[in-house]
Structure 1
Amino acid sequence: MSDDSSQMNSYVAKGEAFDRDTNYIEDRILADPDSQWPVEPGRYRLIAARACPWANRTIIVRRLLGLEDVISIGMPGPTHDARSWTFDLDPGGVDPVLGIERLQQAFFARFPDYPRGITVPAMVDIASGAVVTNDFPQITEDFSSQWKQYHRAGAPDLWPEESRDEMEKVMRLIYTEINNGVYRCGFAGSQEAYEAAFDRLFTALDTIEERLSHSRYLMGGSITEADVRLFTTLVRFDPVYFGHFKCNRQTLRDFENLWGYARDLYQTPGFGDTVDFTQIKQHYYIVHVDVNPTQVVPKGPDLSGWLSPHGREKLGGSPFGEGTAPGPVRAGEEVPEEHTAAAWL
């Protein structure tokens, strides 16, 4: 089962624990001119809905590394029907580059009988209109490694070699227990499955809370891919996961270090300026009809705290290490101010 897929009408299997379908299209875009999918500026389009945490990762990394000029982006709306994500935010409901109304068309252009969920993020070959890959963890890793020659000057090193082994261990914990852990709670089909998932989630959050008590970022004094992967869950925690997914032992604001850390990242260029709180709430509360059958979207919570001082500077470090912050958000890719934390000030 895939949460952000075409399977809109059924996420919860009664009596069962949630089991994510992790079978993705594993093709890679490589810095090898002889590969099936070689790195080429302008050849591929990233399809990434702002509402989806897995897609949000790719939007952040693309911006941090300065890949906007070489990888274009298409953004479906926050909701989808039983078939796939749709481009309802674009004029005429059509992606202006690919010329399609729904992401499903790109998957079918590659695999006419594609049997799995139509997920974002997805990299699409513009000329053929065919999906190349929807393997979300590999996509961001390859943005760092395979597209290196096109990184902006001052781009951060999100995969530092000296801490890679430790970082991959941390990211496994984050994925299995936190990124996927909130879904395990929300889509639990029995009381027993829910309570087990709840305990696993908060055990992991407590572990990360302690780690962040003495380290500004997960791997030390500057941001890495691990921080990107944790942030997209944390930024959705109070608006969605606390209530909608019943992850309600405490809010994110009740964690001293996680809350300070999350605000530190939100206020860092490349993170908060990719977050659309309105789309996030619309997606979860409207699409997950078996969890929220009324499809009523809550007005709260108050988001103004995301812009309050975080005090994490006392731990030292610099978000971009020896690099620099990305420049202003590319024209046309801005999050509407009324969809941001600033709207609550």
Structure 2
Amino acid sequence: MRENENRLIRRHARQASVVLFGLLLLGTVGYHIIEGWPLFDGLYMTVISLSTIGYGETNPLSHEGRVFTLLLIFIGVGNLAYVLAGTTQFFAAGGLVAYRRRARMERNLETISGHTIICGCGRLGLAILHELEAKNAPFVAIERDPELIETLRAAHPRLLLVQGDAGEDDVLIAAGVKRARTLVAALNDDASNVFLTLTARVLNAKVVIHGKADDPDTLRKLERAGANHPFSPSLVAGQRIAEQLTRPTVAELVGVVTSITDQELSIEEVPASAIPGLVGRPLSESPLWGQARTLVLAVKKADGRLLFPAEADYVVVSHDYLVLMGEPAHLRLLVATSGT
């Protein structure tokens, strides 16, 4: 859809340029041949005739010259009216606004980094999109269905959206896969998610990939293709429901701390390097340790290992991430300050 609109804009601009140049050339050469005028005088007469300014004749016109002027006005005004009508229709249809919005989105796509790429905006992808949007987390969505794309753009005007097949290199590159932090393979079939995972892993060896498998037997294939966290929505839902049935209090606590709504508790991960006075010191000496509003639950190492529980004498390094639990407003401030 976006390519078609850009093509229409370019075609309209090209047609307008050709019509205008052709009329100016016709008038200039016509006056030069019929009246023997210099080219500049012919161009000047053409401009004032087509613009209907009516300054008068630059030089006396012969009968043939006046007939040519009449024909030039009829032809020129008709063609210029056609160009003007097309331009008016373009503006009235919101074409300029849409074009500027797309241009702004493309500039943002070129500079975004450390973001999440959602591949596929079906039910799962849309749910993830809403969660990330609620958390003000940077992300880019990839979708190939033109109708769904129009719906998404109408509902989310500032959404960074790339149209195309997520399994193609150029589409992933346009979404900033080489600068992305995480990628979610949430396409409609398992084979496409496996191929997407393999393609994304080749383009970015460090991106963290979450791969969806409707068939639990595909989980191993996703892992071999390069997915860090293969998952099956049916298994995840089953585990969550079983948790609610067997350990309702634990399930309720997990639901509270992972909810995007304002609750009394929340869990976030924050890079250690973003908190002043933390790197190179034991956790017990950090400004977070022992705070009433924040509890350091665990430390995530650069290689993915999770140190739980967080020990007071652990010396923090720059690539660590801290898993914190506390008041949502306080944690949101830490996350916003860290830029995650």
| Structure showing the higher helix proportion among its residues | 2
TM-score w.r.t. length of structure 1:
0.22
TM (norm. structure 2) is 0.23
Which of structures 1 and 2 has the larger relative contact order (alpha carbons within 8 angstroms, sep 6+)? 1
- Larger Cα-atom Rg: 2
